[in-house]
């Protein structure tokens, strides 16, 4: 009896447990520019309320770009011998309910230290204004920022997408 139980547990641990993902239902309210999501994930019913207000860097998009522009060391690609060209660096992060950033990571792999430099810069950011649902509840939200490095012979220019 013990051997059969151990074999069964070993078989389950090797094969893993099946992942059940069921269909999602979406409710889109175009007048509010929001979307409610209801879904079953592994048997648990999940409801994600509509986000009415996206997270925002204090001062808005221009202030965020100014922060990045003034904090990114644009000499990094040249110091790491990047070949001339255009590099699109994509960094994702979560703005928590309290406005703090977490799980900052690269979605691109341009190399030459560019992703690391943008991540270093984003980690220095002040707290953001968090996302809010239509009921005013603050919620965590994942964002992506894109920094475009244009590397020339002895010059680097950064832009944003």
Q: What is the pLDDT of residues 89-116, one digit of tens each?
A: 999 999 999 999 999 999 999 999 999 9
Which tops the pLDDT comparison, 54 or 7? Answer: 54
The confidence band for 129, taking pLDDT boundaries of 50, 70 and 90, is very high
Q: Which residue has the tokens 């069964």?
A: 8
- For the chain, which domains are there? 20-49 (no CATH), 51-161 (3.30.2420)
Over the stretch 13-67, which tens digit does the pLDDT of each residue have? 333 433 333 334 444 444 555 455 544 555 555 555 688 899 999 999 999 999 9
pLDDT value at position 42? 53
pLDDT value at position 78? 95
What are the structure tokens assigned to 37, written together?
Answer: 């999501």
Over the stretch 136-149, which tens digit does the pLDDT of each residue have? 999 999 999 999 99
Mapping DSSP onto H, E and C, the string for the chain reads: CHHHHHHHHHHHHHHCCCCCEEEEEEEEECCCCEEEEEEEECCEEEEECCEEECCECCCCHHHHHHHHHHHCCCCHHHHCCCCCEEEEEEEEEEECCCCCEEEEEECCCCCCCHHHHHHHHHHCCCCCECEEECCCCEECEEEEEEEEEEECCCCEEEEEC
Question: Is the pTM value of this prediction over 0.85?
Answer: no
């Amino acid at each position: 009896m013990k051997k059969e139980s151990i074999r069964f547990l070993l078989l389950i641990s090797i094969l893993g447990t099946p992942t059940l993902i069921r269909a999602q239902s979406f409710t889109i309210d175009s007048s509010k520019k929001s979307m409610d999501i209801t879904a079953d994930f592994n048997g648990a019913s999940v409801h994600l309320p509509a986000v009415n207000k996206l997270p925002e860097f204090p001062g808005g998009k221009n202030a965020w770009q100014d922060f990045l522009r003034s904090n990114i060391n644009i000499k990094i690609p040249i110091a790491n011998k990047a070949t001339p060209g255009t590099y699109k660096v994509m960094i994702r992060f979560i703005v928590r309910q309290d406005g703090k950033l977490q799980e900052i990571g690269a979605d691109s792999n341009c190399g030459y230290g560019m992703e690391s430099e943008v991540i270093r810069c984003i980690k220095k950011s002040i707290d953001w204004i968090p996302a809010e649902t239509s009921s005013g509840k603050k919620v965590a939200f994942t964002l992506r920022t894109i920094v475009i490095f244009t590397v020339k012979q002895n010059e680097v220019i950064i832009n944003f997408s």
